[in-house]
Structure 1
Amino acid sequence: MEGTSKKLSVYDLSKTDSGLLQSKELYQYILNTSVYPNEAEVLKDLRQATASHPGHVMLSAADEGPLMSLLLKLVNAQKTIEIGVYTGYSLLITALSLPKDGKVIAIDPNRSYFELGLPFFKRAEVEHKVEYIESMALPVLDKLLEDRKNEGSFDYAFVDADKSNYTNYHERLMKLVKVGGIILYDNTLWSGTVAWEDDSSLDEQMVHLRAIFIDLNKKLASDSRIQISQLPVGDGLTMCMRLC
């Protein structure tokens, strides 16, 4: 009889409630100690509302939120880009962290998901900070680059979208984000599988995406234009500061 072992899929690996930490108790300690006590009520409500959505695995990890908010404030961000929105949890973090006159261009091809989160933006009175563009991201980024005034004009960017285009996004963002600005890439440790020696237990999609992130991580680590830090929060978050 042939073996019946199940291949691990994106959904299977994203169901873990301990992030990349091996101890669920330690991860819960981090959440209970430093994340949840400081999470704005409107963020918590959006996160909980999204948890019941069929695509909830796309929700940004709660432990990424405090880091994102801190970075935005440290660089005094005024103008930012977000590629990949879903229901808007990370986008709401950005909007709440920006000053009153701050702006974030949010790009995603599925507005219906964002509509689920929109009431929370209105409740937080930050809807005016968001310019939502319903589109694939590359055409929007290329359009922005047609105007020379946009080059080096963004303080911060967060990328959590189609993984196969991360490298393409990086090249555009390196022109749009200013020297000293921050670019964050989500999911770069891909449930820890980037370090696996044997990927035979993964399904075809997971193997494909694992290879994409292994290649991306090598490229970012060797890119002399940036200084990076790869952080084991959420599903892996790579922070890049543009140097030149």
Structure 2
Amino acid sequence: MSQISDVKLQLRAETKQKFSDMARMLSAPDQCEHMKFIIKAAGFKQGIEIGVFTGYSALCLAEGMPLDGKLLALDVSDEYTNIAKKYWQLAGVNDKIELRLGNAVEILDNLIADKRNLESFDFGFIDADKPNYPNYFERLNKLIKKGGIIMIDNIIWGGLVASEDHRQNDPKTKSIYETSQLALNNKEFDVHTIMIGDGLLIAHKKI
């Protein structure tokens, strides 16, 4: 794993100080560095992140993008993303990130309604409300170009996706499992799951 910058360490520390137990929503550092590496190696310029929280993963994603890259970051919280904006500025990536607050499904639907956006993004990263994971995947599929990737966080969900009882009776676990099956059963994608953080599914859209 590459060395974590002081700015990112400060972001994680402030998140834990201010939000205590909610800080568990931070993506794992090694996972974020891995995503950054993929984006940089692939030369991806246009991306969408669904679920920003305090901006750690978006910061890493933006670091992997070129100077003319643009990450569209979707969230619903002013409180969380105000912290994100501070650290994006400190890290020098704020010009690469466009934050939009609101219902992510509606924002994605509005993007899809403009046909110029179809298959125009290089990558998407899903790390938001679990019940909407299938909705996010289906919409990103329309927006991601061939050769691009969709990355999905928490795909292991603490191991609960392996439990048939949880898959049937827990809405979050059920949605995460359904999303993994959507990806695996979609012939447009090659799918790989990495046992890093809480599990990262990477779906590569075939050329």
Decide: shared fold, TM above 0.5: yes
Q: Give structure 1 regions of 4+ aligned residues with deviation exceeding 6 angstroms.
A: none
- Which among 114, 128, 131 is matched to residue 95 of structure 2? 128
Q: Which amino acid aligns with 1:239?
A: I
Structure 1 match to 2:13: 48
Report if the CA contact (8 A) 1:142-1:172 is conserved. Answer: yes
- Which among 132, 138, 141 is matched to residue 165 of structure 1? 132
Provide the secondary structure at the position in 2 that maps to 1:120. Answer: helix
Question: Relative contact order: is structure 1 or structure 2 higher (C-alpha 8 Å, sep ≥ 6)?
Answer: 1
Displacement of 1:211: 2.1
**Identity of matched residues, %:** 36
**1-side partners of 2:174 and 2:93: how far apart?**
38
**1-side partners of 2:82 and 2:201: how far apart?**
28
Displacement of 1:129: 1.1
- Which among 188, 194, 199 is matched to residue 225 of structure 1? 188
Q: Which amino acid aligns with 1:79?
A: Q
**In the alignment, structure 1 residue 58 sits paired with structure 2 residue 30:** no
**2-side partners of 1:220 and 1:73: how far apart?**
23
5+ unaligned residues in a row in structure 1: which ranges?
A: 1-33
- 1:65-95, Cα deviation, whole Å (9 max, x unpaired): 1210111112211111000000000000012
Report if the CA contact (8 A) 1:151-1:176 is conserved. Answer: yes
**2-side partners of 1:99 and 1:171: how far apart?**
27
Provide the secondary structure at the position in 1 that maps to 2:196. Answer: coil
> Equivalent residues in 2 for 1:18-97 (5 A)?
34-35=1-2, 38-52=3-17, 53-54=19-20, 55-97=22-64
Report if the CA contact (8 A) 1:87-1:113 is conserved. Answer: yes
- 1:117-152, Cα deviation, whole Å (9 max, x unpaired): 222111112111111001111111111112111111
Structure 1 match to 2:198: 235
Displacement of 1:167: 1.1
Structure 2 match to 1:214: 177
Structure 2 match to 1:190: 157
Report if the CA contact (8 A) 2:137-2:179 is conserved. Answer: no
Name which one, 1 or 2, has greater alpha-carbon Rg: 1
Displacement of 1:198: 5.5
**1-side partners of 2:183 and 2:172: how far apart?**
16
Q: How many residues are paired up?
A: 203
- 1:23-59, Cα deviation, whole Å (9 max, x unpaired): xxxxxxxxxxx35xx2122112211221222321111
Report if the CA contact (8 A) 2:152-2:201 is conserved. Answer: yes
Displacement of 1:164: 1.1
With structure 1 as the length reference, what TM-score do the two structures score? 0.79
**1-side partners of 2:91 and 2:74: how far apart?**
20
Structure 1 match to 2:121: 154
